[in-house]
Amino acid sequence: MKKIIITGVTGQDGSFMADYLLKNTEHTIVAGVRRLSVKNHENIQHLLGNPRFKLIDLDVTDSVNTEDVIAKEKPDYFINFAANSFVGVSWSQPANHMNTNAMAVMYQLEAIRKHCPKCRYYNAGSSEEFGDVLHSPQSELHPLRPRSPYGVSKASARHMVKVWRDSYNLFAVQGWLFNHEGTRRGEEFVTRKITKNVARIQNEYVNGDFKPLELGNVDAKRDWSDAEDFVKGIWLMLNQEHPKEYVLSSNETHTIREFVEEAFNLAGFGFEKCRWEGRGVDEKYYHEDKVLVQINPAFYRPAEVDLLLGDSSLARRELNWNPQTDFLGLVRKMVDRDIQEY
């Protein structure tokens, strides 16, 4: 039985990873949570009574706290999901993103080097590191060209992981994770914003009095996958003989517009009864004579990444990673959950 520290465990990826490891291994989970007194435990409530799951105080932005925890626990694995991960906010909080997403990684790597150099380390990377892409799809060989403070912070962390791995012979990797969503996705992310509002509008529609969903660039293209498929890929990445980094992606791209259309269709509005009208900021999505979606320029990013499309063929071939949920299955899973819980 081995010990695994997971940070960001109250979020989508961390909680799904804890679920996966408790189900598929005999290892114990030490879950680092910033300010245990703040009971934001919705995603892990079902784990709190498990004897193999322990919560501890861990602030990843505090170098002393980080080193103390790693020195005491001496984990066999360290999986870092703690991050400021909302791209849109990173322009107004760039220093915060660098501190949480990059400096924290250095604190972790240094503590592991000093106290448990055999520990296997994983840091969650992002397709936003590719940014202003030169070609599509993006594989492990594509250069890093971030176009947001968030992307810069993740690219900085990647360089630290490589430098510490090469300099100190650590098993340290940072996978490129393309967009991955699920039923535990935060409501500030566009996919969950869409499905939560679809559930709300479906409920309020019969009264004819509802506020339309407001979105920004609905033509941005993303490579979306199910987060539950990704945690399996991360665990495979951590258990190779030698450290190597991989792209995890669906290898297909869809627009936010498509996500909207599929979500409303799954909620019973019907493709044939819905339509887009107008252009630019005046564009709207109608169901018969009622506006379901309207464009709000406040949600445009200062520098948009128009297209991200991954090539995960290396992970599929070398790790035997086989994602199970396709785009429509993902949208259905999220819409069904939000309608059920509304």
Measured between alpha carbons, how far is 198 from 146 in angstroms, rounded to an integer?
32
Query: Could you tell me whether strands 247-248 and 171-177 are parallel, antiparallel, or unpaired per DSSP bridges?
Result: parallel
The predicted structure's pLDDT at residue 99: 95
What is the rounded CA–CA span in Å between residue 95 and residue 318? 37
d(CA 131, CA 129): 5
- Using the structure block, give the residue that is written with the tokens 């495979």: 236
- Decide which of 3.40.50.300, 3.30.830.10, 3.40.50.720, 2.70.70.10 is the CATH code for 3-177: 3.40.50.720
pLDDT for the residue numbered 38 = 59
> Cβ(38)–Cβ(66) under 8 Å?
no
The superfamily in CATH containing domain 190-220+255-306+334-341 is UDP-galactose 4-epimerase, domain 1 (3.90.25.10)
- What pLDDT does 84 receive? 87
323: exposed, middle or buried (Cβ count in 10 Å: 0-12, 13-18, 19+): buried
Distances (CA, A) of 42 to 7, 9, 185, 337: 16, 11, 12, 15
pLDDT computed for residue 293 by the predictor: 98
List Cα–Cα distances, 1 to 26, 118, 162, in angstroms. 6, 15, 28
Rg (CA), the chain: 20
In the chain, the amino acid numbered 199 is A
Per-residue pLDDT of the chain (342 residues; tens, 9 = 90+): 899 999 999 999 999 999 999 999 999 999 998 775 456 789 999 999 999 999 999 999 999 999 999 999 999 999 999 998 878 788 889 999 999 999 999 999 999 999 999 999 999 999 999 999 999 999 999 999 999 999 999 999 999 999 999 999 999 999 999 999 999 999 889 999 999 999 999 999 987 789 999 999 999 999 999 999 999 999 999 999 999 999 999 999 999 999 999 999 999 999 999 999 999 999 999 999 999 999 999 998 787 777 889 999 999 999 999 999 999 999 999 999 999 998
What residue spans define the domains of the chain? 3-177, 190-220+255-306+334-341
**248 phi and psi angles, rounded to 5 deg:** -115, 125
What is the predicted pLDDT for the residue at 106? 98
Structure token pair of residue 188? 């500030």
| Pairwise CA distance, residues 233 & 226, whole Å | 11
3-state secondary structure of 143: coil
307 burial type by CB count under 10 A (0-12 exposed, 13-18 middle, 19+ buried): middle
